[in-house]
């Protein structure tokens, strides 16, 4: 295998070399517990606070409105459950294409007696803000809609939904794990009250994420055992991770805009290139309102896992849209929600590009996709003689 | 890599893949759970499968299992194909992960169906 191309940036990204350099002293030299009162602890506390300021600065919010967590999943759990428990009982609104960190939390809350509305999406994976408005009840205590979907990349009309939520005085949570550091956002303009984000999607380390909680938002902590993070998230802070996260966010502020334009061009080159070479190929997700680096391509009558395997053997890393586990197909809940027929959904592959992706990489991937898919299609059962 | 080198080799270089013109028997196996499908074609001379070809849809293991089975079954008596077990196919691939065992089941089913088809055609000819 001569060439390796990583097109799975929505799953994770390589840690930026500058981030690694910044993190290294915090493993063995500056290892103190930020809660300790001695010099080692104060040093760690200062570094955590500096990262908090960096991330707050990146978002244009106050440092006290940032809570560090162990990642996007914890942030989503804390946000949705924390808002629900603050309301004690009532009704929550979310969509059918949320990440499982939100969906499973909502289902757990439903089992505990909360009422849930799971909004549908259109063929592009877009939530209709009017549906949100219609779903609001007198006892609605929270709305949680993702900023962009990790599988198909559709960016939701968060500003319109936020305005509706604010008008009704309902706390609005946004899972921004896939957009934070990738596209510009202003939490005030978007009327967001609580927002989840993650480090390893933006060239930071794994195991660290964050939550923006607008000042005055009522939330209940779901993890107990300490006074950390202003009593909003108990547990010793992951200092090296937080330091790396802060540096990663700072770097994104510098690189995000130019990179988004470049990556968008490469993404379109990839999608158009594949469509020019192969028949029965369809791009899913919104044609315009889509993450710059995400192309979800469905290949009719080819099984996505065999495409992923074929590409992997050519050094190309991508993700399958539908998973076959123990012989049971589980078409992605997102592809099902956008109404993609099974023969298409079974062949959906996600290509997610990033800062290191080049035009040469994209051209190589187009060649590989053509070869792999054409070969798999030649194996397909046809009419018998 | 979660798959054996043998499986990868058969996935990358499937043997005996493609349609057979005027086969003496055809059989298909399908796994409803995931839609994986294998179809086998047999050329039979004096009761023996002299040529075995296949077509397949599914994950890499299903394609590889069909490929390895096409080599394994060539030269066998058609009657023996009725008794082919999935674990023999799995063994020829140097193993399958637990969650991909259905690949060998689909292929064994297809071979059984092809053998039954040949017997039915034989009965019809008699």
For the stretch A139-183, pLDDT in tens is: 999 999 999 999 999 999 999 999 999 999 999 999 999 999 999
Stretch A14-34: mean pLDDT, rounded? 97
Is the CB of A328 less than 8 angstroms away from the CB of B33? yes
Residue A384 is predicted with a pLDDT of 42
Which site among A308, A345, A384 would you substitute to test the B interface, given the most B Cβ atoms closer than 10 Å to its Cβ? A384
Which DSSP letter does residue A357 get?
-
Q: Kindly report, residue by residue over A239-266, the tens digit of the pLDDT.
A: 999 999 999 999 999 999 999 999 999 9
Report the helix count and the strand count for chain A, using DSSP H and E.
13, 15
Residue B124 is predicted with a pLDDT of 73
CA distance A189 to A339: 32
Q: Kindly report, residue by residue over B89-99, the tens digit of the pLDDT.
A: 999 999 999 98
Place A383 in a pLDDT band, splitting at 50, 70 and 90: low
* pLDDT, mean over chain A: 95
CA distance A318 to B87: 31
pLDDT over threshold 70, residue B1: no
Active site residue A324: yes
Instruction: Please count the structural domains in chain B.
Output: 1
- How close B77 gets to chain A, by Cα (Å)? 23
Is the CB of A310 less than 8 angstroms away from the CB of B60? yes
Is the CB of B26 less than 8 angstroms away from the CB of A324? no
Is the CB of A306 less than 8 angstroms away from the CB of B28? no
Q: Kindly report, residue by residue over B41-74, the tens digit of the pLDDT.
A: 999 999 999 999 999 999 999 999 999 999 999 9
Beta carbons within 10 angstroms of residue B50's beta carbon: 13
> For A325, which of B26, B31, B99 is closest by C-beta distance?
B99
Residue A109 is predicted with a pLDDT of 98
User: Which residues of chain A are within 8 Å of residue B9 when distances are taken between CB atoms?
Assistant: none
What are the contacts of A126-129 at 24+ separation with CB within 8 A? A126/A154, A126/A156, A126/A157, A126/A286, A126/A289, A127/A95, A127/A156, A127/A157, A127/A161, A129/A157, A129/A160, A129/A161, A129/A164
CA distance A144 to A20: 33
Stretch A16-33: mean pLDDT, rounded? 97
Residue B33 is predicted with a pLDDT of 78
Beta strands per DSSP E along B10-74: 25-31, 36-45, 48-57
Q: Which domains does chain A have, with CATH numbers?
A: 5-12+256-378 (3.90.1150.10), 17-252 (3.40.640.10)
Residue A63 is predicted with a pLDDT of 98
Expressed as residue numbers, the domain containing B95 is 5-125
Rounded percentage of chain A residues whose pLDDT exceeds 70: 97
Is the CB of B33 less than 8 angstroms away from the CB of A313? no
pLDDT over threshold 90, residue A276: yes
Query: What are the angstrom distances between the C-alpha of B8 and each of A337, B1, B29?
Result: 34, 9, 22
Stretch A266-282: mean pLDDT, rounded? 97
* pLDDT, mean over chain B: 94
CA distance A301 to A346: 8
Place A385 in a pLDDT band, splitting at 50, 70 and 90: very low
Stretch A345-369: mean pLDDT, rounded? 97
Residue A328 is predicted with a pLDDT of 62
Place B76 in a pLDDT band, splitting at 50, 70 and 90: very high
Residue B39 is predicted with a pLDDT of 97
With a CB cutoff of 8 Å and minimum separation 6, the contacts of A29 are none
Q: Kindly report, residue by residue over A92-110, the tens digit of the pLDDT.
A: 999 999 999 999 999 999 9
Place A2 in a pLDDT band, splitting at 50, 70 and 90: confident
CA distance B52 to B17: 9
User: Which residues of chain B are within 8 Å of residue A384 when distances are taken between CB atoms?
Assistant: 19, 23, 26, 39, 41
- How close A326 gets to chain B, by Cα (Å)? 4
Q: Kindly report, residue by residue over A176-230, the tens digit of the pLDDT.
A: 999 999 999 999 999 999 999 999 999 999 999 999 999 999 999 999 998 899 9
Q: Using CA of residue A374, residue A276, residue A182, residue A186, what is the dihedral sign? A: negative
Stretch A345-364: mean pLDDT, rounded? 96
CATH of the domain at B62: 3.90.1010.10
Residue B11 is predicted with a pLDDT of 96
Question: Of how many residues is chain B composed?
Answer: 126
User: Which residues of chain A are within 8 Å of residue B35 when distances are taken between CB atoms?
Assistant: 303, 329, 342, 346
Q: Which residue of A has its CA nearest to B61?
A: A306
Per the residue annotation, which of A86, A160, A324, A336 is the catalytic one? A324
Rounded percentage of chain A residues whose pLDDT exceeds 90: 93
- How close B102 gets to chain A, by Cα (Å)? 6
Q: Kindly report, residue by residue over A313-347, the tens digit of the pLDDT.
A: 999 999 997 666 555 667 789 999 999 998 899 99
Is the CB of A324 less than 8 angstroms away from the CB of B98? no
């Amino acid at each position: 295998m001569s060439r390796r191309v990583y097109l799975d940036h929505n799953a994770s990204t390589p840690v930026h070399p500058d981030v690694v350099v910044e993190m290294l002293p915090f493993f063995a030299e500056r290892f103190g517990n930020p809660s300790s009162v001695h010099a080692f602890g104060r040093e760690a506390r200062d570094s955590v606070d500096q990262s908090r300021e960096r991330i707050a600065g990146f978002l244009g919010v106050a440092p006290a409105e940032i809570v560090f967590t162990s990642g996007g999943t914890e942030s989503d759990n804390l946000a949705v459950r924390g808002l629900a428990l603050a309301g004690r009982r009532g009704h929550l609104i979310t969509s059918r294409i949320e990440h499982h960190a939100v969906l499973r939390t909502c289902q757990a809350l439903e089992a505990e007696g909360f009422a849930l509305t799971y909004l549908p999406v259109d063929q592009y994976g877009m939530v209709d803000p009017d549906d949100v408005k219609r779903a609001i009840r007198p006892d609605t205590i929270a709305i949680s809609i993702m900023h962009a979907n990790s599988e198909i990349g559709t960016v939701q009309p968060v500003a319109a939904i936020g305005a509706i939520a604010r008008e009704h005085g309902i706390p609005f949570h946004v899972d921004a794990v896939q957009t934070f550091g990738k596209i510009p956002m202003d939490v005030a303009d978007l009327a967001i009250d609580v927002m989840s984000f993650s480090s390893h999607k933006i060239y930071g380390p794994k195991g660290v994420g964050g939550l923006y909680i607008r000042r005055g938002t009522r939330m209940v902590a779901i993890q107990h055992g300490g006074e950390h993070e202003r009593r909003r998230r108990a547990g010793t802070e992951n200092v090296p991770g937080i330091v790396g996260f802060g540096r990663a966010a700072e770097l994104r502020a510098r690189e995000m805009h130019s990179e988004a334009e470049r990556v968008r061009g490469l993404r379109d080159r990839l999608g158009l290139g594949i469509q020019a070479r192969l028949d029965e190929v369809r791009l899913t997700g919104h044609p315009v309102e889509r993450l710059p680096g995400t192309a979800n391509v469905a290949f009719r009558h080819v099984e996505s896992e065999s495409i992923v395997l074929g590409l992997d053997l050519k050094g190309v890393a991508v993700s399958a849209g539908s998973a076959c586990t123990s012989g049971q197909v589980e078409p992605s809940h997102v592809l099902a929600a956008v109404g993609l027929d099974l023969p298409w959904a079974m062949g959906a592959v996600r290509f997610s590009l990033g800062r290191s992706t080049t035009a040469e990489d994209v051209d190589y991937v187009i060649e590989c996709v053509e070869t792999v898919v054409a070969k798999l299609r030649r194996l397909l059962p046809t009419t018998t003689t | 890599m979660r798959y054996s080198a043998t499986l990868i080799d058969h996935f990358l270089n499937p043997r005996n893949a493609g349609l057979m013109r005027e086969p003496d028997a055809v059989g298909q196996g399908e796994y409803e759970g995931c839609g994986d499908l294998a179809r086998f074609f047999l050329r039979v001379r004096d009761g023996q499968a002299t040529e075995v070809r296949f077509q397949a849809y599914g994950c890499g293991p299903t394609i590889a299992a069909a490929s390895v089975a096409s080599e394994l079954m060539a030269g066998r008596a058609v009657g023996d194909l009725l008794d082919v077990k999935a674990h023999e196919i799995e063994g020829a691939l140097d193993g399958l992960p637990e969650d991909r065992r259905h690949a060998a089941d689909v292929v064994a089913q297809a071979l059984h169906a092809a053998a039954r088809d040949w017997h039915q055609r034989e009965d019809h000819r008699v």
